[in-house]
Amino acid sequence: MPEVTIDLRENKMNRASLIRCVNLMMTLILCFQMTKIYADDKPKELKGKALKPFIELMQNNLQAWSFHKDDKVFDDAAADYTRRPDALFWDTSLPLQGFRGWAEYQHVIKTWLAHGIEQADIAVVDTDQFMGWRYKDVVWNLMHCEVALVLANGDRPQPRCRGTSIWEWEGDRWRLAHETFSTPVALEQPVFQGQRPADPRIEPHQELMALAQEIARAWGAGPVSELPQRLEQYYLKDKNLTIYTPWQPMSVYPGWDAFAAGVQENLAPKAQRISLQLNDDLEAHRRGRLAWSHATLHIETQLSDGRINAGDARQTLIWYLTDQGWRIMHEHFSFPQG
């Protein structure tokens, strides 16, 4: 019988190589899985076929809000809204505090009727500028809308507005968890003044309120021309950032560079300083690394000629939790129409 010689050193080396190979494969698999998890934990912009359903949702929603003074009921849009009582909805009109839950929001048309609006046909316009993002079971979209009004005095204005709508998947469909609509104003234009009444249902979110107060102080800490430098640390610096200011233009600022340029073009030539005072009513809704908040503020604008233009406004913020802390990825800042 031939003699069989086993080289134990070679056998051990082969086993060690195999173990290293297995460990490397496991590391690669883990890295792939972690990369996928991390990617799934970041907001994604919706485009094309992924965006189309939300354009249709908003078109149908605004059509459901269209009304005539002789309509028997004003609840056609009911199915689109969450039934959570803590949800807040801001129409372009008063009151400053908006409407708490669908139970209040369904009566907004009575407010319109009281202001002499007898008919309204509301539609999404500029669909090429309709934008949307998704984070897990939350979607938010930005849009322009047009309202064809018939007033009691016979006038037929067609004001335009812009909207931020936040949808959340509930049960078997997408439902609106928050929305805010606004019409931008000229910097020197008189705006609404009035305090938000006390509401025992408000539960302030302390962490984000402290951060939002810090941001508000930064607004008034120097001249308008240096505003971007004071604010930039609080905002997300990627293509997902979008900002609506209370002032013209109507369109959103897409990204930090666009906002910084807009400050120099639209605000700095007309205003020396803009001071904000955040009220203690900031509430937030957190979903993983995403949160949205809403609060009211008092604004004082010192115009270039020295005049002071004061008013009370609303602010919706969408936040994303980065490794460096919470950063704003969408802002909708506006004055309600008196």
The distance from CA 113 to its chain's CA centroid, rounded to whole angstroms, is 28
Structural domain of residue 301, as residue ranges? 206-334
Span 29-69, pLDDT tens digits: 444 444 444 456 899 999 999 999 999 999 999 999 999 99
* Predicted local distance difference test score (pLDDT) of residue 7: 60
Number of domains forming the structure of the chain: 2
In angstroms, the CA 228 to CA 215 distance is: 12
231 and 164 in one domain? no
Does residue 195 fall inside a structural domain?
no
Residue among 233, 221, 219 nearest 328 (CA): 233
Whole-angstrom CA distances from 296 to 10, 110, 111, 204, 317 are 74, 23, 20, 12, 11
173 and 229 in one domain? no
229 and 309 in one domain? yes
Residue among 69, 71, 214 nearest 152 (CA): 69
Helix boundaries (H) for the chain: 8-40, 52-65, 101-105, 108-114, 206-219, 227-231, 256-262
Six token digits for residue 185? 């104003």
pLDDT at residue 292 is higher than 90: yes
The domain boundary residue, chosen from 167, 182, 197: 182
In angstroms, the CA 41 to CA 33 distance is: 12
Binning pLDDT at 50, 70 and 90, where does residue 89 land?
Answer: very high
Indicate left, alpha or beta for 115 from its phi (over 0: left) and psi (-120 to 50: alpha).
Answer: alpha
pLDDT at residue 8 is higher than 80: no
Binning pLDDT at 50, 70 and 90, where does residue 141 land?
Answer: very high
In angstroms, the CA 45 to CA 131 distance is: 8
253 and 305 in one domain? yes
* Predicted local distance difference test score (pLDDT) of residue 68: 94
In angstroms, the CA 217 to CA 233 distance is: 14
Which residues are CB-contacts of 172 (< 8 A; sequence separation ≥ 6)?
none
The domain boundary residue, chosen from 133, 166, 182: 182
* Predicted local distance difference test score (pLDDT) of residue 34: 40
* Predicted local distance difference test score (pLDDT) of residue 35: 40
* Residue 286, domain CATH: 3.10.450.50
Query: Running DSSP on this structure, what letter comes out for residue 203?
Result: -
